[in-house]
Structure 1
Amino acid sequence: MKVNYIIGILLSLVVMGCNTKQNSLPADVYETAANGNKLKHLTEFPVAENAVAIQLLPAEKYQTITGFGGSFTEASAYLLNQLSQKNRELILEAYFGSEGANYSLTRTHMNSSDFSLSNYSYAPVAGDKELKHFSIDEDRDDIIPMIKEAMAISEDGFKILSSPWTASPWMKDNNKYVGGKLLPEYYDTWALFFSKYITAYKEEGIDIWGVTVENEPLGNGNNWESMHYTPEEMVEFVSKHLGPKLEANGQDVKILGYDQNRDELNEWADIMYKDEESSKYFDGMAIHWYASTYDYMPEPLNYTHEKAPEKLMIQSEACVDSEVPHWQDDAWYWSKEGTDWGYDWAPEEQKYLHPKYVPVYRYARDIIGCMNNWVDGWIDWNMVLDRQGGPNWFKNWCVAPVIVDPEKDEVYFTPLYHTMAHFSKYIRPGAVRIGFEISDEDLMMTAAQNPDGSIAVVVLNMKEEAKNMVISLGERSVNLQISGQAIQTIIIKQ
């Protein structure tokens, strides 16, 4: 007992700067917590009594990480245009700067979405099957400038995933922005639309890394822009129209299928990955988290990975939905008061999936759970919203990590911003998730080895009491502590 106590003291001295002992493991620790820490660099820790044992296993390698980030929506870009240049730069530096969250994977929408100011299409002229009137002019005032400014700030660059909410109404069987299906006679036209979009953005100096075939192909209750596909219809469109069109035009862009909630993922994996012909043009699967506020659904994630281990699996959208943002109230984001669409509207048999929740935990739990079950990228929804949770033409209010008051030119970085940064800033593209063993189920964690050899460990403590930890890598170890109600990133440099 006395020997262990002495070793604990020596290890704590190592963390405070003494790196001379052979068994020391150098570590930089950053914490965000309900106590007010915001990516705070911690350097002093108590002796690790009753410590949680964490063993890192870098020889166990899993998926390669594509990235983490948020979305360029018209709503976010419009709001940035309303702010002073100082605050616009503050926000974009916070998201894309090397000293900020350093986002590496982003999303945007083709045509309008609910987080647009109105309904619009880049191909508004009915019957224009060759898309001679195609134009991305709708994006020139807001989305394109936002992306270009982010590109100028980002030292490492970032990938962009683009998603349509709907084709032009004249291409659909109901001639509306909301609901309906793409008419087979316009399959080639709609594939051409993707190609023209990719070309138009490239001409602006913006490379589109990937596309999803359709945002939420199962629909959204006929509330805002949508277009329905069955899995078979999506495979038909991609394998015979979209894939061949992009290939013929030399456009090496990733194509992700599905793009909706994980609870129905198995059926789509069965059909998309049925055989070589069905899966040829799909580079992977896009998923959303809205089926549950707490269940990250490891079974369908693992099932989908096993169906096609070489394919990508990217969480393409998540947000605190059906809530008006709480302004300058950090405590709310750490409290169990969040509700979502399902809290009020889910069928009775699904209500249990949508209890009240802690927003910070929902983000951190989901990202950790996704990473530990083969998801290689995680994209938040709007980067910036106003105090109402918009603008949104359908009044579908949501929360973003950064909230602004354009009339007063004020900015609020919510704890969700710092939660995202714990992953995006420290787990870089090309990192490989590694194995670990942990002795306490009260802590959630994941770990990845970055291209530079450093290991990023992210730990979530949802308990009110602090937890001591001893993290080991081979024969070396480091003695740490995580606060109660906290998320912590530990960078280990070997």
Structure 2
Amino acid sequence: MKTLKKIMYVFLTFITLSCEEKQEPLKVEVYETSESGNKLTPITEFSTGDKVVEINLLPEEKFQTITGFGGAFTESSAYLLNKMGKENRKKIIDAYFSKDGAHYSLTRTHMNSCDFSVSNYSYTPVEGDKDLEHFTIEEDKDDLIPFIKEAMAASEDGFKIFGSPWTAAPWMKDNNNWVGGKLLPEYYDTWASFFSKYVDAYKEEGIDIWGFTVENEPLGNGNNWESMHYTPDEMTNFVQNHLGPKLEADGKGDLKILGYDQNREHLKEWVDSQYKNEETSKYFDGTAIHWYASTFDVFPEELQNAHHKAPDKLLIQSEACIDAEVPVWEDDTWYWKKEATDWGFEWAPEEDKHLHPKYAPVNRYARDIIGCLNNWVDGWVDWNMVLDTKGGPNWFKNWCIAPVIVNPDSDEVYFTPLYYTMAHFSKFIRPESKRIGLTKTDDELMVTACENPDGSIAVVVFNELKTAKTINLSINEKNVVFSIDAQAIQTIVIPKSQTN
């Protein structure tokens, strides 16, 4: 791995000779990750071609405020870190959370077990414990909690954590099972108390929880691993009449509550229920979404509709990964090739096959994050931060890929190109930044831009074509010309001094 060391930035100045009016040179910092081998590498020399793509930034056009970028603390990742040597454990945590690393700012974790746990477990192990007198997070104390605390120590700015339950304990459900079923109405208040007790228990460990999603994948997952089902109106009822009032009564009204937490293609029916009126909207702070309906199509109409339905609410991508795949070890080129499939490639109905093409893992991440940002999403959270060479551990054997793959037996670490792809956003687009407007003359390039709280602007460009592109980037009558490699993602940082 090429570590993300503190970089002595080299300012680049190029003047577009073809411009009719001479513009003032723009000084920028350029970082690139590419199929050719760059890994968030500072770029100072460029070859330029005749055809120039014009990108003009419009900082006066402001859109959503960014909540953050990051990944999930899972028991599987924590279990693997416990098996790694001290040096590599620190290397991984620093790579994700330090300012010199990816600088993650928004994270998720599971409440009770999930598929990426070593086994099934609940914080409420005693059947019939309606008052939760035996509530305990003891299961998390040897893996998840140390992982989170070491990440906190590595993070200079801190990060937000939201919890997501996959299921209540079986004794609270109508099928008395970890998988499927619904929460029995007699336990709605008990389940609301569960969230409050979770916050208190983690607070005692020195960890502040920022918020929750109400339920991971309330539509279910095909009865494969931990799940608990809600209809849109059932979830709205639970939040409106139980969870929201309980948190408010316990002095925790500032905790964020995110509804839905599943795939985008059904987003409309959920936001219609959540934001039906003032009463139903009161306790919802936003909506969470996943990408598994398609890792190719961002469903822009659904995202636009969700924003316009509730423009002041959060819209956060809470989970994404390259699923149904075993990781490829130390072969960067594989992550740029159309070898990977997703869960829908094999069995999706014929009418949905176009949503699940073979598509390069890096391209999925880069396209989705840019597409989401350009359609009002304010946070994007990856799934597991660390998995092994098999794509686990996972008690259901639901193998997936993480940006960092480890071999705990040999104490080896592989930072895949997905890690650097995430860092292009998380490192340079900081919380409370604002997405800004832009125009571009090439539809083949994907571009997004955000103005950070310090006044700097980060522009992320993705070129998924097999040919390099020349770019003329301009803002406020200043410009710079540079190139982006074939199959590459770039972040261009414009210091505040250059944005006026």
Aligned counterparts of 2:432 and 2:275: Cα–Cα separation in 1: 25
- The aligned residue for residue 207 of structure 1 is 208
- The aligned residue for residue 439 of structure 2 is 437
Structure 1 residue 351: deviation in Å?
Answer: 1.8
Aligned counterparts of 1:129 and 1:411: Cα–Cα separation in 2: 44
Map Cα deviations across residues 46-97 of structure 1 (whole Å, 9 max, x no partner).
Answer: 3563110000000000000000000000000000000000000000000001
Q: 2:328 aligns with which of 322, 326, 329?
A: 326
Aligned counterparts of 2:133 and 2:464: Cα–Cα separation in 1: 55
Q: Is the 8 A contact 2:14 2:482 kept in 1?
A: no
Mapped pair 1:128 → 2:129:
yes
- The aligned residue for residue 59 of structure 1 is 60
Mapped pair 1:295 → 2:297:
yes
Aligned counterparts of 1:338 and 1:130: Cα–Cα separation in 2: 47
Structure 1 residue 293: deviation in Å?
Answer: 2.2
Aligned counterparts of 2:350 and 2:227: Cα–Cα separation in 1: 25
- The aligned residue for residue 312 of structure 2 is 310
The two structures have a TM-score, normalised by structure 1, of 0.96
Structure 1 residue 400: deviation in Å?
Answer: 0.1
Structure 1 residue 24: deviation in Å?
Answer: 1.1
Aligned counterparts of 2:70 and 2:240: Cα–Cα separation in 1: 29
Q: Is the 8 A contact 2:13 2:26 kept in 1?
A: no
Aligned to 1:38, the other structure's residue is in SS state coil
Structure 1 residue 345: deviation in Å?
Answer: 2.2
- The aligned residue for residue 458 of structure 2 is 456
Amino acid in structure 2 at the alignment position of 1:441? D
The two structures have a TM-score, normalised by structure 2, of 0.95
Aligned counterparts of 1:490 and 1:355: Cα–Cα separation in 2: 30
Q: Is the 8 A contact 2:14 2:26 kept in 1?
A: no
Aligned counterparts of 2:70 and 2:109: Cα–Cα separation in 1: 11
Structure 1 residue 161: deviation in Å?
Answer: 1.0
Map Cα deviations across residues 325-375 of structure 1 (whole Å, 9 max, x no partner).
Answer: 000011110000111110112223222211111100000000000000000
Amino acid in structure 2 at the alignment position of 1:37? N
Map Cα deviations across residues 86-120 of structure 1 (whole Å, 9 max, x no partner).
Answer: 00000000000111000000000000000000000
- The aligned residue for residue 275 of structure 2 is 273
Aligned counterparts of 1:145 and 1:330: Cα–Cα separation in 2: 31
Aligned counterparts of 2:108 and 2:198: Cα–Cα separation in 1: 14
Aligned counterparts of 2:486 and 2:355: Cα–Cα separation in 1: 25
Amino acid in structure 1 at the alignment position of 2:342? D
Structure 1 residue 184: deviation in Å?
Answer: 0.2
Q: Is the 8 A contact 2:23 2:479 kept in 1?
A: no
In terms of mean alpha carbon deviation, does 377-386 or 344-353 score higher?
344-353
Map 1:40-439; keep pairs closer than 5 Å.
40-47=41-48, 49-251=50-252, 252-439=254-441
Q: CA RMSD in A?
A: 1.2
Aligned counterparts of 1:53 and 1:265: Cα–Cα separation in 2: 35
Q: Is the 8 A contact 1:105 1:377 kept in 2?
A: yes
Aligned counterparts of 2:359 and 2:458: Cα–Cα separation in 1: 27
Aligned counterparts of 2:430 and 2:72: Cα–Cα separation in 1: 18
Aligned to 1:25, the other structure's residue is in SS state strand
Amino acid in structure 2 at the alignment position of 1:238? V
Aligned to 2:371, the other structure's residue is in SS state helix
Change (3 A) 1:22 1:443: closer
Aligned counterparts of 1:373 and 1:354: Cα–Cα separation in 2: 21
Structure 1 residue 12: deviation in Å?
Answer: 5.5
Aligned to 1:155, the other structure's residue is in SS state coil
- The aligned residue for residue 3 of structure 2 is none
Aligned to 2:454, the other structure's residue is in SS state coil
Q: Is the 8 A contact 1:12 1:44 kept in 2?
A: no
Amino acid in structure 1 at the alignment position of 2:135? F
Amino acid in structure 1 at the alignment position of 2:174? D
Q: Is the 8 A contact 1:167 1:190 kept in 2?
A: yes
Aligned counterparts of 1:12 and 1:442: Cα–Cα separation in 2: 25
Amino acid in structure 1 at the alignment position of 2:45? E
Aligned to 1:26, the other structure's residue is in SS state strand
Aligned counterparts of 1:399 and 1:113: Cα–Cα separation in 2: 16
Aligned counterparts of 1:483 and 1:377: Cα–Cα separation in 2: 27
Q: Is the 8 A contact 2:468 2:485 kept in 1?
A: yes
Map Cα deviations across residues 250-307 of structure 1 (whole Å, 9 max, x no partner).
Answer: 1121000000000000111111111001111000000000001210010000001000
Map Cα deviations across residues 137-156 of structure 1 (whole Å, 9 max, x no partner).
Answer: 00000000000000000000
Aligned counterparts of 1:340 and 1:82: Cα–Cα separation in 2: 29
Amino acid in structure 2 at the alignment position of 1:461? N
Aligned counterparts of 1:411 and 1:263: Cα–Cα separation in 2: 36
- The aligned residue for residue 35 of structure 1 is 36
Map Cα deviations across residues 300-330 of structure 1 (whole Å, 9 max, x no partner).
Answer: 0000100000000000000000000000011
Amino acid in structure 1 at the alignment position of 2:383? W
Map Cα deviations across residues 203-242 of structure 1 (whole Å, 9 max, x no partner).
Answer: 1110000100000000000000000000000011000000
Aligned counterparts of 1:213 and 1:257: Cα–Cα separation in 2: 6
Q: Is the 8 A contact 1:372 1:446 kept in 2?
A: yes
Gaps of 5+ in 2: 1-11, 17-21
- The aligned residue for residue 5 of structure 1 is none
Aligned to 1:421, the other structure's residue is in SS state helix
Aligned to 1:24, the other structure's residue is in SS state strand
Structure 1 residue 45: deviation in Å?
Answer: 2.1
Aligned counterparts of 2:462 and 2:200: Cα–Cα separation in 1: 42
Question: How many residues end up aligned between the 2 structures?
Answer: 479
- The aligned residue for residue 27 of structure 2 is 26
Amino acid in structure 1 at the alignment position of 2:34? A
Gaps of 5+ in 1: 1-10, 16-20
Aligned counterparts of 1:260 and 1:293: Cα–Cα separation in 2: 13
- The aligned residue for residue 466 of structure 1 is 468
Aligned counterparts of 1:413 and 1:60: Cα–Cα separation in 2: 36
Amino acid in structure 2 at the alignment position of 1:413? F
Q: Is the 8 A contact 2:345 2:358 kept in 1?
A: yes
Aligned to 2:24, the other structure's residue is in SS state coil
Amino acid in structure 2 at the alignment position of 1:400? A
Q: Is the 8 A contact 1:12 1:46 kept in 2?
A: no
Change (3 A) 1:182 1:26: same
Aligned to 1:197, the other structure's residue is in SS state helix
